[in-house]
Structure 1
Amino acid sequence: MSHPKNQPGAPEQHDSLSEQPAAGARSRVERLTADLERHNYLYHTLDAPEISDDLYDALFHELQTLERLYPRLRSGYSPTLRVGGGLLDGLTKKNHSRRMYGLENVFSGAELRNFLARMRRVLPEAPLLFWCDPKLDGLALEIIYENGVLTEALTRGDGASGEMVTDAVRTIQTVPLRLAGAGPFPELLEVRGEVIIFKKDFAALNERQEALGRKQFANPRNAAAGAVRQLNIAVAESRPLRFLAYSLGSVIWSPAPASGRQHDVMERLATWGFLTPPEGKLCAGVGEVETYADFVRERRPQFTMEIDGIVIKQDSLEAQEALGFTARAPRFAVAYKFPASQVETLLRRIDVQTGRTGVLTPVAVLEPVSVGGVMVSRATLHNEDEICRRDVREGDTVIVQRAGDVIPEVVGPVPGKRRAGSRAYVFPHVCPACGETAHRETGEAAWRCGNLSCPAVRLLRVVHFVSKAGLDIQGIGQKRIGQFVGAGIVQSPADLFVLTVEALLHFERMGEILAKKIVSAFDEARLSATLPRLISALGIRHVGGQTARLLAGRYRTLDELGRADAETLQSLPDVGPEVAASIRNFFDSPTNRALLVRFRELGLWPQGATSASGENALRGKSVLFTGSLSLPRARALELAEAAGAVPASSMSKKLDYLVVGEKPGGKLAKADSLGVAVLDETAFMALLASAGL
């Protein structure tokens, strides 16, 4: 703990431990716990300390001593839980009760107005009141409280499930271990927000790294995220992490307070002891939102943390529920991203890389430069057409920005600083990895290597197969896969499942224990793989996780999916001609068909979701939910998928069922106009029962 020295207003001195009778230990522990958490809140959250470091440390040491003497008196919210140092075996995963979505981005006032207009079209009765606050650049977290006491914390992960980081999060001083105030508190409360590091703290952290001869951190977000996800809890404790809360997940509260507004949620979070994004404001109408955006943009350098825009949320929680979500983002909120920071640097050369799908991508190799607090040495040049349009040449002084404050890109050259004799860049039309002639299809901007045996394509295809977007095989990364592919023992993803301990022992720094772990990881993945995961792992162009789940809901096996024609595929929600053609191209490839035969022989052949009674009225049907149900939306979706239903992201004439709860909003009227079948909750539950669920 680092409190400023000699602060005025210190409380009266407490009795020393030696004078305290054992019978009074319980009340003493309770008082110390309350006092220490109060002083912790004053110092870290309000920046208004009342006692000195020395007095705080003395009280803390007294509580530690009492808890050692009487272990049963240590509460689940004791300040001593904030001390790290333990080593975890690994980070386990857990499903979020409600999916944690990302936000759609807009980059101009016109795009913002279009988004808000779409919101009004979907739900005309939605009030023109919006809660706006700065967009933080950190690690998204969900912290779970039961009856006011912190019990668990999860990272956002892939949105559906996250990694358990409870012990690390307890070390963050701005996270209440017990909600502030007298209560009553919700039985269950999921608080969502961001772990960040303030700019001044980040500068001091890098100064310490430099003094110790260690590598400096690229940006505050990486330093924060890396600390929370460390297996050594002491790392999180050692970094100046702060948690800022901005929304809620599931809440179980009986009786629930009459609070139906986002701005009420923010006030309640502050009352419970959370830091919230600064300068948040309730805005009436689009004009006030744009005025607020201008205000935050002008004051951006003065904010204590890195921000890259503002977040706009519909203020009515009822309207939020009615608007719902697309496959990737809420329809009731949007991130308005500010123009990227731009700097000048030297473009040393242009490298061309071959990606997993064979696309040849030009990358600018730059003189390292700091862009918006991040050191950048490489940046995308997109494709041949963009290089020609911007007339970017090797040796140019170029303007670099982080697109959306995330991906570095070259904006263009500085013509006045171009060297004499400079020549226009000629894009290579051969694959740099295998020398095969590249081709460019009509209507496409990319040159592509069509060689299925290309080493770069082969490597990245296997890397994708084991990645989080694929089977998510823990402990197997690109470096390890590169070793296997480079040695020739892995030519395709199927080869991973026939690796032996004996074969792995030939690699440098590979002992028998590690080799056995790797072989076991592949065997476990083979046995536990789900059909959605396997479809996603195949790397079919335009087929990501959401589309993979949709396909697995409609088709029971890869055989069934492989027999579906393009027209049938296009009958599915969110599958258009391009996606359907890509799926057909994959299954029409002899090489890919041979891979699937090997998967079947190896026992990597998961079945899609089936119910106890086999076929039923929900199997293969697309389902969308609207309104408030008696069970959590995530649970309803889980049950529908278990019955073989396909989750839909939006209303369309392809939708089979709209399941309607209370206060359904605009989706119900749209379903009527499109002729979509409507089920109330009773009818939906009856279909689940008929499916054996």
Structure 2
Amino acid sequence: MDKQQAQEKVIELSELLNNYNYEYHVLDNPSVPDAEYDQKMQELRELEEEFPEFITTESPTQRIGGEPLEGFKKVQHNVPMLSLGNAFNAEDLRDFERRAAGVTDAKLSFVCELKIDGLAVSLTYEDGKFIRGATRGDGTTGEDITSNLRTIKSIPLTIAEKNTMEVRGEAFMPHKSFLALNKSRDENEEEPFANPRNAAAGSLRQLDPRIAAKRNLDIFLYGVGEWEAGSLASHSERLDYLKKLGLKTNPEWKKCETIEEVIEYVTYWEAERPKLGYEIDGIVIKVDNLDQQEELGFTAKSPRWAIAYKFPAEEVVTILHDIELSVGRTGVITPTAILEPVKVAGTTVKRASLHNEDLIRAKDIKLGDTVVIKKAGDIIPEVVRVVEEKRTGSEKAFHMPESCPACGSELVRLEEEVALRCINPNCPAQLKEGLIHFVSRNAMNIDGLGEKVIIQLFQEKLIHTIADIYRLQRDDLLKLDRMGEKSVHNLLQAIETSKSNSLEKLLFGLGLRFVGSKAAKTLAVHFETMESLKHATYEDLISIDEIGEKMADSVAMYFSEVEVTDLLAELNELGVNMDYKGPKKQEIAQNTIFSGKTVVLTGKMDSFSRSEAKSAIEQLGGSVTNSVSKKTDFLIAGDEAGSKLDKAKQLGIIIWNEEQLREVLEK
């Protein structure tokens, strides 16, 4: 294929795939099966790899997210993105209508839209191309999150409107994406997001766009800011025009001629919102006529022509039949309420976390109680309170057991802890959870060994300890469900690759109490080998600046266990690396300007790459972190430094340019 043919094919495939994306993500009506879409996408990728000069920013292959950013630049909203006043009942809505009617003589009509619980954003198109996306921020100044917004497949990268046009909407995380994300975070021992809104906001404020790309966000557009050719007469016409341009609008909006119709719409969606695949927390009501909107104007904080009706949190009553106990990776016993199934915010709830014994006592929860439950953030079930007046006397007090429900070992409550723990290192429940943690991304990062596979291997008695992972055989794996020749080959290759991980990865994977990924790195740098760490005393450990008493005690106790010594010997024999592979302690200069200091790098540098600067600072005894805080000692600012530089100035942190850093490194 010559260059001319390649360019024509790239354009053809890009247009075709962008149309498929529109059908799937905007119209929810795909015209081709996923396999055909994937085949076309692969064909485009291969062409772009062979002819990179034909890659454009509008190519569907460019939605996967680029390199991490240094920080977010500020964006000024020439037309402010104001918040809305609130209404909480029908009378509030009638008051809104009376106030508006008192200003304008013409008859009012309204547009009602679902109030999406997400993150307000603006998208700017110039000459039909998406050039910038920003957060609402404080209404006048937001942050440039273009790279992250480009990963949302329902945002078109080109539109037919050639005049400069800024559209506004709400980026959000659908229920299925939220549940999948929290499941993944749980598997990786990460704190789950409390609700879809926090998850969406957290995703769009990641400096690494590749993270946002994996989280399957969506968007609804509902209005315009700046628009050079804006000449439509009503908000409803604007919504129709946005849809015509291929911008995704919410299909549930409705034009209402009276405020009573508005109230009917609000009442309907208050009951029906659980059927949606995304979170809404109210209804937005706007005066439809744009001339009337201009006549009504604004207060200092919000438009007079719009209001947000806020839904109350839904609480329901059910029966708590039992309390089930589960054992976590660190042996913590977690109680879970087993409920009479009940519908809450659209889904049937059968279980709710009770966290620990102290919470059960504080809420005086008994077996057989009638309880009020709700979904925290409309997603996570929790017991709010007991309905004491419903008690009959047949309810039974709940007592935490004295022995582990998984292995029967005695439970203990460690000093200053609320939780009960099983401290048996051979507890099957802990072993299983420990295996899941060991293979997770921040630990040994073994692709293909997710929670389901680990559980299957554990149940089939193919693995019992983490050493067994390195003894897995091809023939045994092929007998498992959904394990074909290719997946088994890839899994065994990933297991083999993990053997060469640096010591800190192994340390974190072993799951020592109080030892997170950062502490594991500190220990690895200080001791350099597992053998050296294994023989460290409590005094050796506590002498390290970043290691506290609890952590030192935990590490010393862990390596004193015979089972641990045997496990490490097995791993060593199986070829698992036991040494630290980063800059050695002796390579780190002492008494330098960076010794013991926390440094943040931001902006572009000409003399060296980010990793080179980081390595050099670490060898001079400094610690390089990503975010600016009161604990930051130096900010090294290259060209185009953004919000980190602003924050450093506010906090009075020492700020150097690239030249100053280079001078120190050369000395």
Q: If the length of structure 2 is used for normalisation, what is the TM-score? A: 0.54
Of the three residues 400, 404, 408, the one matched with 1:435 is 408
Question: Structure 1 residues 148 and 349 mapped into 2: Cα distance closer, same or farther (>3 Å)?
Answer: same
Aligned to 1:624: 598
**Amino acid in structure 1 at the alignment position of 2:157:** P
Aligned partners of 1:150 and 1:178 also within 8 Å: no
Tell me, in whole angstroms, the C-alpha distance in 1 between the residues paired with 2:630 and 2:148: 39
Aligned partners of 2:164 and 2:227 also within 8 Å: no
Aligned partners of 1:637 and 1:647 also within 8 Å: no
* Pairing of 1:103-182 with structure 2 (within 5 A): 136=117, 169-170=152-153, 172=154, 174-177=155-158
Any idea what the Cα deviations from partners look like across 1:319-353, whole Å, max 9, x if unmatched? Answer: xxxxxxxxxxxxxxxxxx99964322222211111
Aligned to 1:413: 386
Find the residue that maps to 2:338 and give its secondary structure: strand
**Which segment is superposed worse, 619-628 or 586-595?**
619-628
Any idea what the Cα deviations from partners look like across 1:576-631, whole Å, max 9, x if unmatched? Answer: 44344434433343333433333333332252322899444689955534686443
Question: Structure 1 residues 619 and 412 mapped into 2: Cα distance closer, same or farther (>3 Å)?
Answer: farther
Aligned partners of 1:550 and 1:647 also within 8 Å: no
Tell me, in whole angstroms, the C-alpha distance in 1 between the residues paired with 2:547 and 2:311: 32
- What is the RMSD computed on CA atoms of the aligned residues? 6.0
Question: Structure 1 residues 99 and 365 mapped into 2: Cα distance closer, same or farther (>3 Å)?
Answer: farther
Aligned to 2:326: 353
Aligned to 2:372: 399
Aligned partners of 1:347 and 1:364 also within 8 Å: yes
What's the offset of the Cα at 1:458? 0.9
Question: Structure 1 residues 167 and 499 mapped into 2: Cα distance closer, same or farther (>3 Å)?
Answer: farther
Any idea what the Cα deviations from partners look like across 1:214-241, whole Å, max 9, x if unmatched? Answer: xxxx657448999xxxxxxxxxxxxxxx
Aligned to 1:516: 489
Aligned partners of 1:246 and 1:276 also within 8 Å: no
What's the offset of the Cα at 1:507? 4.5
Aligned partners of 2:599 and 2:633 also within 8 Å: no
Tell me, in whole angstroms, the C-alpha distance in 2 between the residues paired with 1:180 and 1:669: 41
Find the residue that maps to 2:319 and give its secondary structure: strand
Question: Aligned pair 1:472/2:445, yes or no?
Answer: yes
What's the offset of the Cα at 1:502? 3.4
Question: Structure 1 residues 435 and 408 mapped into 2: Cα distance closer, same or farther (>3 Å)?
Answer: same
What's the offset of the Cα at 1:196? 3.9
Question: Structure 1 residues 378 and 491 mapped into 2: Cα distance closer, same or farther (>3 Å)?
Answer: same
Aligned partners of 2:328 and 2:334 also within 8 Å: yes
Question: Aligned pair 1:365/2:328, yes or no?
Answer: no
**Amino acid in structure 1 at the alignment position of 2:516:** G
Aligned to 1:493: 466
Question: Structure 1 residues 92 and 481 mapped into 2: Cα distance closer, same or farther (>3 Å)?
Answer: farther
Of the three residues 617, 623, 630, the one matched with 1:646 is 623
Find the residue that maps to 1:348 and give its secondary structure: strand
Identity of aligned residues (%): 27
Aligned to 1:582: 554
* Pairing of 1:449-468 with structure 2 (within 5 A): 449-468=422-441
What's the offset of the Cα at 1:460? 0.8
Of the three residues 589, 604, 607, the one matched with 2:576 is 604
Question: Structure 1 residues 681 and 514 mapped into 2: Cα distance closer, same or farther (>3 Å)?
Answer: closer
Aligned to 1:283: none
Any idea what the Cα deviations from partners look like across 1:86-118, whole Å, max 9, x if unmatched? Answer: xxxxx9997633489xxxxxxxxxxxxxxxxxx
Aligned to 2:95: none
Aligned partners of 2:64 and 2:151 also within 8 Å: no
Where structure 2 has 5 or more consecutive residues not aligned to the other structure, the ranges are 1-7, 30-39, 73-114, 133-146, 184-199, 210-223, 230-241, 251-266, 283-309
Tell me, in whole angstroms, the C-alpha distance in 1 between the residues paired with 2:396 and 2:404: 22
What's the offset of the Cα at 1:183? 8.1
Of the three residues 505, 516, 525, the one matched with 1:544 is 516
Tell me, in whole angstroms, the C-alpha distance in 2 between the residues paired with 1:437 and 1:370: 38
Aligned partners of 2:602 and 2:635 also within 8 Å: no
Tell me, in whole angstroms, the C-alpha distance in 2 between the residues paired with 1:467 and 1:599: 17
Aligned to 1:377: 350
What's the offset of the Cα at 1:455? 0.7
Find the residue that maps to 1:480 and give its secondary structure: helix
Tell me, in whole angstroms, the C-alpha distance in 2 between the residues paired with 1:428 and 1:270: 70
Question: Structure 1 residues 650 and 553 mapped into 2: Cα distance closer, same or farther (>3 Å)?
Answer: farther
Question: Structure 1 residues 342 and 589 mapped into 2: Cα distance closer, same or farther (>3 Å)?
Answer: farther
**Amino acid in structure 1 at the alignment position of 2:658:** E
Aligned to 2:566: 594
**Which segment is superposed worse, 348-357 or 596-605?**
596-605
Tell me, in whole angstroms, the C-alpha distance in 1 between the residues paired with 2:616 and 2:246: 37
Where structure 1 has 5 or more consecutive residues not aligned to the other structure, the ranges are 1-25, 46-52, 54-63, 85-90, 101-133, 152-163, 186-190, 198-217, 227-242, 252-265, 279-297, 310-336
**Which segment is superposed worse, 636-645 or 455-464?**
636-645
Aligned partners of 1:136 and 1:306 also within 8 Å: yes
Find the residue that maps to 2:366 and give its secondary structure: coil
**Amino acid in structure 1 at the alignment position of 2:356:** N
Aligned partners of 1:489 and 1:495 also within 8 Å: yes
Find the residue that maps to 1:520 and give its secondary structure: helix
Find the residue that maps to 2:412 and give its secondary structure: coil
Tell me, in whole angstroms, the C-alpha distance in 2 between the residues paired with 1:471 and 1:192: 40
**Amino acid in structure 2 at the alignment position of 1:496:** I
Find the residue that maps to 1:345 and give its secondary structure: strand
Question: Structure 1 residues 306 and 508 mapped into 2: Cα distance closer, same or farther (>3 Å)?
Answer: closer
What's the offset of the Cα at 1:471? 2.1
What's the offset of the Cα at 1:478? 2.4
Aligned to 1:684: 661
Tell me, in whole angstroms, the C-alpha distance in 2 between the residues paired with 1:456 and 1:435: 11
**Amino acid in structure 2 at the alignment position of 1:384:** E
Find the residue that maps to 2:362 and give its secondary structure: helix
Question: Structure 1 residues 579 and 344 mapped into 2: Cα distance closer, same or farther (>3 Å)?
Answer: farther
Aligned partners of 1:196 and 1:224 also within 8 Å: no
Aligned to 2:219: none
Tell me, in whole angstroms, the C-alpha distance in 1 between the residues paired with 2:515 and 2:66: 25
**Amino acid in structure 2 at the alignment position of 1:535:** L
What's the offset of the Cα at 1:575? 5.1
Aligned partners of 1:397 and 1:413 also within 8 Å: yes
* Pairing of 1:228-243 with structure 2 (within 5 A): none
Question: Structure 1 residues 631 and 387 mapped into 2: Cα distance closer, same or farther (>3 Å)?
Answer: same
Any idea what the Cα deviations from partners look like across 1:123-174, whole Å, max 9, x if unmatched? Answer: xxxxxxxxxxx99459x9x99x9x96799xxxxxxxxxxxx9999954x2x3
Tell me, in whole angstroms, the C-alpha distance in 1 between the residues paired with 2:467 and 2:593: 30
**Amino acid in structure 2 at the alignment position of 1:452:** P
Aligned partners of 1:573 and 1:652 also within 8 Å: no
The count of corresponding residues between Structure 1 and Structure 2 is: 469
